[in-house]
Every structure is written in structure tokens, then in C-alpha cells.
Amino acid sequence: MYAVVATGGKQVRVSEGDILRVEKLEAAMGDQIELSDVKFVGKDDGGVLDEAKLKKAKVMCRVTGEGRAKKVRVFKYKRRKQYHRTYGHRQSYTQLTIEKITV
């Protein structure tokens, strides 16, 4: 069984036991989090698209870590104008382990 969940402005496909990194959530290490914005649930015999069932669907996760991703370098340049700027950005993330998907 798998589910498509929206978190942090993105949609992610998850299964039980998966480890994923999402944008920073306000939760302590070891906390259990419930992701309730489920867009789709897929099973062996087909998928669930019924809105009434999807509103009840939940994905239970446990926070297993947090940190910051690798630095992304941004370089701006305009030719023949002696203009160039370099700056970077590191995005904070929360690492989740998917424990259970319920419909």
C-alpha cells in the first residue's frame, strides 16, 4: 500500500517503512506526526479516490532526524556589464520514517 501526501508545498509518494526528508516541521526528535493531507491511496486491487475516504485517511510518521541540506550556490551574471553576484542557501529539513497508512 502506498499514499501520496502533500507536505511543505510538495506531494510525495510514501510507503510503510520509507524514510523521507520534508521541509522543517516544528516537532522534537522521536515525536509521532500525523500527515492528514492525503491526495491518493494505492492498493494492490486499485486506488482510492473517494473524497470521503481520503478525508479520513492518515499517514503516521515518526521524526528520526533534522538537519540542513547541502548548500545550493546561486550565481547571477550579466555579460559585458561587470555584474556578478554569488550567494548560497541551505534548506532546513525534518527526516521522517513512515510507520502506518490508514484509510
The string of pLDDT tens digits covering residues 18-28 is 999 999 999 99
Q: What is the DSSP string of 43-88?
A: ETTEEE--HHHHHH-EEEEEEEEEEE-PPEEEEEEETTTTEEEEEE
Domain ranges within the chain, ordered by starting residue:
2-102
Closest CA to 41 of 26, 28, 52: 52
The average confidence (pLDDT) of the chain is: 93
DSSP label of 28:
-
pLDDT computed for residue 82 by the predictor: 96
Residues of the chain with pLDDT under 70: none
The answer to whether the beta carbons of residues 36 and 54 sit under 8 Å apart is: no
Closest CA to 62 of 91, 8, 98, 12: 98
pLDDT computed for residue 15 by the predictor: 94
pLDDT computed for residue 90 by the predictor: 97
Residue type, 60: M
Enter the pTM of the model.
Answer: 0.81
